[in-house]
Structure 1
Amino acid sequence: MLKIALVDDNTDFLLLLRKKVHAFFDGRNVLCEVRLFPNPEVFYFDLEEGFHYDICFLDIEMPQMNGLDLAKKIRATAQATYLVFTTSYLQYAVEGYEVQAFSYIPKNLLEEKLDAALLGIFGEMQEKTEKYYFVETNSRFERIEYKEIIYVYKNNKNAVFVLKDREVPVRKTLQEVFVQLDSEEFICIERGYIVNVQHIIKIESKELTLRNGKKLQIGRTHIREVKEAIHNYWRDRM
């Protein structure tokens, strides 16, 4: 879940901004918690207590505390936080480079500029979280997103990646592929198969069903391990 802080001494503007931020992420089925801070000092105390936010919208000119000072405080402990200044004072833009502000949104242009800023942030977040498996031979190079891999099976001396619309053979052992994937998204269900947990929709007795309709048998010695791996994977994402 994304944690988002909105800091501005104008309560009406905060309520409007919250509504638009929720609309953006709700439209993309992304859970987010949006907290409002009409008093920047309260937000400052949150930071002192160790609270972390993925995105912070900061007004610059506030009676109690300057938004740039807040941004410097955030940057002291959170380099990855996205900072967006919502302000009527664009003369501070140069100073914003010091704190690596992602965007400036003039308050009178919120309607036109907010979605573009959020799209930029959302796109960067997705790029940072995507994982890839690289297939390289003498004749080709291919990058396969982890989320595209449904399962991998052994076929003679090849490991074959099963994707939604095709299969990609790789001249490697299944064990080599499993080590290279190095992710809790993938589990061995028996000696000849690696499965992507994201694509499992049902387990019944010793059989699991994948999103593409494929049914695979779970090895007798792997049943408990498979169920625990699936439980742990989804528990950490609830």
Structure 2
Amino acid sequence: MEIIMIYIAICDDDEKTIVQLRKRVQMLLKENNIVAKISEYSQSRLLQYDVQEGKYFDLILSDIEMPQIDGMKLAEYIKKYLPEVFIIFITSHTKYAIDAYELSVFRYVPKHIIDKKFDHAILDAIKMINGKSNQIYSITTPTRVEKIPYEKILYMEREGKNTIIIMKDGSKTHVRKSLSTVIKELNSEEFVFVDRGNIANVRNIVKIKDGSVELENGVRLWASRSRIEEIKKKISEFWGERI
């Protein structure tokens, strides 16, 4: 079984609180055989910069009242870059609970009842992160971690020794692997070779006509004749299981 690495950030302007939270998280992870990498931030602005520069996190534990950028503004900013991230506020200030809910913050743990709420909040978040893992393509290099939900992938194309992944929103990313390697790693009926140079997400195929596969957003990929019937079969199997 593949070991799933969870990426966690702890952000609080009080160094002692960071130490306490890290020890508590590490103990909980050890008890539940969960592998994680924990990053610590005593300045919210540094966490903001790292996320802006592409650093990835599955889970963020943050205080709310902090200098420079408070937790509410930090969460709003981070969600623009990491919309799938789980954010848990751990704070003494209960007056922000409603605002936290509106920001789609996963949990709000008041410090005065942390013993009652903390462990459940962390384990619930990790359970949901792991539940999504079989529908996420992970790119991990010494300098970069990127996790892409399958539903966001429009198609992929070969570019030299790289695979270029094109998202539904028009953004792109790449991985230094062949298309055949990538589709094996995806291990999903959701993807199909259109020809040797392209893989399409079946859920985004809207039409097959005149030797081409038309995707959402008007994207058209030319398909080899030998692939057309296989593509049609994949579409039928994929949607047949969902009707």
- What's the TM-score once normalised by structure 2's chain length? 0.52
Alignment of 1:153-192 (within 5 A): 184=185
Selected match of 1:54 from 55, 58, 64: 58
Over 3 Å counting, the alpha-carbon distance change for 1:185 and 1:118 in structure 2 is: same
State the AA in 2 paired with 1:92: Y
CA distance in structure 1 between the partners assigned to 2:49 and 2:37 by the alignment: 18
Over 3 Å counting, the alpha-carbon distance change for 1:130 and 1:9 in structure 2 is: same
- Provide the residue aligned with 1:38 in structure 2: 42
The secondary structure found in structure 2 opposite 1:22 is: helix
* 1:185 to partner: Cα distance: 8.8
- Provide the residue aligned with 1:113 in structure 2: 117
* 1:183 to partner: Cα distance: 5.6
- Provide the residue aligned with 2:104 in structure 1: 100
Identical counterparts, % of pairs: 30
- Provide the residue aligned with 1:225 in structure 2: none
State the AA in 2 paired with 1:68: M
How many corresponding residue pairs? 136
* 1:80 to partner: Cα distance: 0.9
Q: Does 1:64 align with 2:74?
A: no
* 1:13 to partner: Cα distance: 0.8
- Provide the residue aligned with 2:164 in structure 1: none
- Provide the residue aligned with 1:16 in structure 2: 20
Q: Which moved more, 1:47-56 or 1:117-126?
A: 117-126
* 1:64 to partner: Cα distance: 2.0
Computing the radius of gyration over CA atoms, which structure comes out larger, 1 or 2? 1
CA distance in structure 1 between the partners assigned to 2:130 and 2:36 by the alignment: 15
- What's the TM-score once normalised by structure 1's chain length? 0.53
1:113-140 Cα deviation digits (max 9, x unpaired): 1111012112212322358xxxxxxxxx
1:14-54 Cα deviation digits (max 9, x unpaired): 10100011111122222111111111111111122111111
CA distance in structure 2 between the partners assigned to 1:122 and 1:22 by the alignment: 13
Aligned Cα root-mean-square deviation (Å): 1.9
CA distance in structure 2 between the partners assigned to 1:30 and 1:9 by the alignment: 27
The secondary structure found in structure 2 opposite 1:57 is: strand
Q: Mind listing any 5+ residue stretches in structure 1 that lack a counterpart?
A: 132-181, 187-238
CA distance in structure 2 between the partners assigned to 1:53 and 1:185 by the alignment: 21
Q: Does 1:129 align with 2:145?
A: no
* 1:98 to partner: Cα distance: 2.7
State the AA in 1 paired with 2:13: D
* 1:84 to partner: Cα distance: 0.2
CA distance in structure 2 between the partners assigned to 1:185 and 1:82 by the alignment: 23
* 1:107 to partner: Cα distance: 1.5
- Provide the residue aligned with 1:78 in structure 2: 82
Q: Does 1:2 align with 2:2?
A: no
Conserved? CA contact 2:58–2:129, under 8 Å = no
The secondary structure found in structure 2 opposite 1:56 is: strand
The secondary structure found in structure 2 opposite 1:70 is: helix
The secondary structure found in structure 2 opposite 1:127 is: helix
Q: Mind listing any 5+ residue stretches in structure 2 that lack a counterpart?
A: 136-182, 188-243
Which aligned segments of 4 or more residues in structure 1 are displaced greater than 4 angstroms?
Answer: 182-186
